[in-house]
Amino acid sequence: MEIYPGAYIAGTGVQHAWVITWRFFYLFKQKQNANLGRWYPRVQRPKPYQLMALRLTVTSKLIIMAFSLVLVSCEKTTSEVPADCFRLWTGKEPDAQTRIDHAKYWQSGSLVKEYMVFMELQPSAAWQKEFMRENKLVLIDDDDEWTVPDSAPAWFAPSKNYKVLKLPLPYGESRYFIDSLTNHMFIFEIEM
């Protein structure tokens, strides 16, 4: 005897069949109360607009997760420890001959790398020569229009005896001050 497809009553007797039938209707009545819409088991295929809503929901969840990850990773970086500032600025440790007297580093928390560095250092002649060659620094004869930024620390005060160099860009704000006798340098570099 078959009550519903795939379910057979094991045994004979009306009482046994009644119990199985009662359990069958009781279970599916509960499912009907759970707002499935039918009292019998049936797989309902979702309609196309329901699938689209599901996809949008998953997509929007992924977008929200990615956006929150970006926001968490967007934290500004600041330092006034000379060795840390040098490492943040160049990505390398200073060599043994380079002495960093003072430094101040600030990096924004945005997705692009925006930073500002003030540094007073006594580099080795080899490092200074390599630095000037890599950055293609150009000597400026008259730089009356450039002034020290307001955010500069008190120790950032290069004298008039220093040679002033800049990047070969027409809009560059960065300045590099080098004392040709002692190789002492003041560096102001900004990338915005």
146 SS3 class: coil
pLDDT value at 192 more than 70 = yes
Q: Answer yes or no: is pLDDT of 65 > 50.
A: yes
- Give residue 84's domain range: 77-191
107 plus 149 within the same structural domain: yes
Categorize the per-residue pLDDT at 55 as very low, low, confident or very high, splitting at 50, 70 and 90.
low
Question: For residues 87-122, b (16+ Cβ closer than 10 Å) or e, as one string?
Answer: ebbeeeebeeebebebbbbbbbeeeeeebbbbbbbe
Whole-structure pTM over 0.85, yes or no?
Answer: no
Whether residues 105 and 149 share a domain: the answer is yes
Of all residues in the chain, what percent carry a pLDDT higher than 90? 31
Question: Looking at the structure, do residues 157 and 103 belong to the same domain, yes or no?
Answer: yes
Q: Looking at the structure, do residues 60 and 84 belong to the same domain, yes or no?
A: no
**Residue 54 pLDDT:** 57
pLDDT score of 119 = 96
pLDDT digits (tens, 9 = 90+) for 175-190: 999 998 888 999 999 9
Number of domains into which the chain is organized: 3
In this predicted structure, what is the pLDDT of residue 13?
47
113 with 33, same domain? Answer: no
pLDDT digits (tens, 9 = 90+) for 6-50: 444 454 444 444 445 545 555 555 555 555 555 555 566 666 666
Give the C-alpha separation, 112 to 29, whole Å: 59
